[in-house]
Amino acid sequence: MRLTCNVNGKTEVLDDIWPGESLLYVLRERMGLPGAKNACEQGECGSCSVHVDGVLVCACLVAAGQVEGAIIKTVEGLAGATELHPVQQAYLDAGAVQCGFCTPGLIVATVDLLDKNADPTDNEIREALAGNLCRCTGYAKILDAVRLAAARAESTSKA
């Protein structure tokens, strides 16, 4: 089938898509966008987190045919031309990246959290990121990064 959707602001028309393949497969194998990672393929790990029509989802659990006409935003769509997204910068500055495999998914999930809740408590951060696993177990620094991104956003908005 032919699939038409908008990915990171650009309309994409893709042919010869098997409708049962996952959005994750479409992104990685058809479009060459490797930011969303392929790990568990069952929604357990969150490393393939992306936004579909503004909703945070695991790309591995969305069928290609279901995103016809959808607006998709991946981790590749976050940074500006010259600057990282503030959440990406905060992850770097806080040292929240070890092997880096879970990082794109966690960054997308963090952006989702801070869009809805600019000043989350630790429990709210834990709940929002509960679907994203870090096998390096670097959760303390990941929480630091989320707090840092939230604090910077707050000081920017006051300035």
Residues that bind other proteins (CB under 8 A): 1, 18-20, 22, 41-44, 46, 49, 55-58, 60-63, 65-66, 68, 109, 112, 127-128, 130-132
- Closer to other proteins by CB, 68 or 119: give it: 68
In the complex, least distance from residue 159 CB atom to other proteins, rounded to whole angstroms: 31
- Closer to other proteins by CB, 18 or 119: give it: 18
- Closer to other proteins by CB, 41 or 93: give it: 41
In the complex, least distance from residue 121 CB atom to other proteins, rounded to whole angstroms: 15
Do 45 and 132 contact (CB within 8 A), yes or no? Answer: yes
